[in-house]
Structure 1
Amino acid sequence: MERFERDGLVFDVRDGGPPDGEPVVLLHGFPQDSSAYDRVAPVLHGAGLRTLSLDQRGYSPGARPRGRSAYRLREVTADVLALLDAAGLGSAHVVGHDWGGAVAWALGAWHPERLRTVTSLSTPHPAAAGRAVLTSDQGLRSSYMALFQLPVVPERLLLARDGAALRGVLENGGLPGDAVDRYVGRMREPGALSAALAWYRALPLSVRDPVGRVTVPTLHVWSTGDTFLGRTATERSRDHVQAPYRLEVLEGVPHWIPELAAERTAELVTAHVRTAG
């Protein structure tokens, strides 16, 4: 597969590995794209797994609808179901990082019949995250989301001087220069940053559809160097899984797990897939 359509939107997909291998859907976060898994996917292919790396809604140039309601969690999870349908897959393993992790949790709660396993990189269960905002330092860690709710201002701040502010955030977070160049370049495309920020702006709408308990085997990978997502929500996520659950902590790794801990991530995902099988 190279692309599929849903409701007039065209999504880009990277389809790799053995065609008959266990299918693993890879979902990126902000402000990444499917290239976040460029070092993870080949290791999974070597283990006999097929990967479908999706440029999600707002990131695929042909899938940038206007308005925050188009980026509710219900909509972005439906995109993944449409990918499975287009690929002729009744179910698949789903791996998500950052916002992709939120999608993975939601799929595991709302559509367990379509998932074989869930793996969330960095991101806690949405309910655990919501509670942690009120009871820990997670509120401070997530304070940038309030800025992202404003119209126009975040786009101007992040893209001023050829995206210097966005570039600085990514570089300070430890991302290698080639990844920073790719992501900043993508966000400078017309309408791209506004579409990516719409995921945050849709949060007040998404909370109306709470994510309940996940009922498929779940792997949660968190890193102690993550400045955006703290330990409290991470440790409470197990309370929202009614299935085999494992938390793996990566010491000293920043938020960008797929890029900065690719081999370990691939090893953990492979083991998780095989255990569930």
Structure 2
Amino acid sequence: MADWSHEETIVNGVRLHYVEAGEGPLVVLLHGFPEHWYAWRKQIPALVDAGYRVVVPDMRGYNTSEKPHGVEAYRMRELVGDVVGLIETCDEERASVVGHDWGGAIAWEVAARHPGSVDRLCVLNAPHPAAYRRELLSRQSDQARRSWYALFFQLPWVPEALFRAFDDRAVEGLLREDPENPEAFDEEAIDRYKRACTRPGAMTSMINYYRAAFRGQLRSLLPGRSLPDYAREGRIDRPTLLIWGMRDRALSPRLTEGLERWVPDLRVERLPEASHWVQADEPDRVNELLTGFLDDD
């Protein structure tokens, strides 16, 4: 990590910390819950070696980035604005955007709302928003049952109190329970994530992502309202790679199906032995897929 620099910048009115490495075309890596920039530690060297400039932020509310107060500060519009602003801060008009989990959800939206800012899009175990809504409402899908934790996170202060009561062993349990690879999260990684989650205001900020998203989903389910139809409005027209660990306990594999309506230039790679933490479970395979996709003319 000697050649990786730690930087800070103000984008979209929020101070963000990020790690930067390498030279070449810009690639922005977006992490998920409950991680931070360190989630991409196994991908950064591969991308740098492949000739890319890599920028990896702690998203707002995470680790050492600023933690604005209130659920409304974590609406998707704000999260997307952070990524677009970060690309501009790097003196680039566009970048390839790669995201996992919540970072993947944001990456989908950046590509849909600001296609001019995205060169290529890669998403790891994060559902396209229209497909997610489809599965939540489908009687043939078990996605509503799998999403129980998102409902739990809607409670005020209770989730935060539970994390504190377990002395943040809940964070460790979440990361230790699911991976198929026993080396996916070593002690240093667990310690880093636990320390990041105990920073003042961090856990509330991280859970506010779910609270803000749930409020938006409730509005979309009102009579006469729907999520944006990306087939007609803001369709994702950038080359897109979806990498999916098929042993994800929280997200149904059905979410990888039927996406061509919204994402016509799509390639799906399903990794049968990987969990939700796909880039930690199978880093070599993910690196191979990622660098190959970004290099594909």
Q: Which residue of 2 aligns with 1:137?
A: 142
Letter in 1 for 2:295: R
Letter in 2 for 1:255: H
Q: Which residue of 2 aligns with 1:202?
A: 212
**Counterpart contact for 1:94–1:104, Cα < 8 Å:** yes
CA distance in 2, matches of 1:61, 1:211: 36
Q: Secondary structure at the match of 2:167?
A: helix
CA distance in 1, matches of 2:112, 2:159: 32
Q: Residue 67 of structure 1 is aligned with which of 66, 70, 73? A: 70
Residues matched between the structures, number: 273
Residues 65-103 of structure 1: CA deviation (Å, up to 9, x unaligned): 011111011100100011011110000000000000011
**Counterpart contact for 1:214–1:240, Cα < 8 Å:** yes
Percentage of pairs with the same residue: 38
CA distance in 2, matches of 1:269, 1:23: 14
Letter in 2 for 1:54: P
**Counterpart contact for 1:94–1:117, Cα < 8 Å:** yes
**Does structure 1 residue 116 correspond to structure 2 residue 119?**
yes
Q: Residue 94 of structure 2 is aligned with which of 91, 102, 123? A: 91
Task: Give the direction of change, closer, same or farther, for the CA distance of 1:65–1:266 in structure 2 (3 Å limit).
Answer: same
Letter in 2 for 1:261: E
Residues 84-139 of structure 1: CA deviation (Å, up to 9, x unaligned): 11110000000000000011110111111110011000112011011101210111
Q: Which residue of 1 aligns with 2:177?
A: 172
CA distance in 1, matches of 2:27, 2:51: 11
Q: How do 1:21-60 residues align onto structure 2 when only pairs under 5 Å count?
A: 21-60=24-63
**Counterpart contact for 1:109–1:211, Cα < 8 Å:** no
Q: Which residue of 1 aligns with 2:278?
A: 257
Root mean square deviation, CA, Å:
1.6
Task: Give the direction of change, closer, same or farther, for the CA distance of 1:164–1:214 in structure 2 (3 Å limit).
Answer: same
**Does structure 1 residue 3 correspond to structure 2 residue 8?**
yes
Point out the structure with the larger helix share. Answer: 1
- State TM-score, norm by structure 2: 0.88
Letter in 2 for 1:66: H
Residues 185-239 of structure 1: CA deviation (Å, up to 9, x unaligned): 2111111010000100001344456372211110000011111111111213333
Residues 143-202 of structure 1: CA deviation (Å, up to 9, x unaligned): 110000111100111232311222212211224233222212211111101000010000
**Counterpart contact for 1:110–1:211, Cα < 8 Å:** no
**Counterpart contact for 1:15–1:50, Cα < 8 Å:** yes
Range with bigger deviation, 175-184 or 25-34: 175-184
CA distance in 1, matches of 2:42, 2:238: 26
CA distance in 2, matches of 1:263, 1:177: 17
Unaligned stretches of 5+ residues in structure 2: 1-5, 221-226
**Counterpart contact for 1:26–1:53, Cα < 8 Å:** yes
Q: Residue 262 of structure 2 is aligned with which of 240, 244, 255? A: 240
Letter in 2 for 1:13: Y
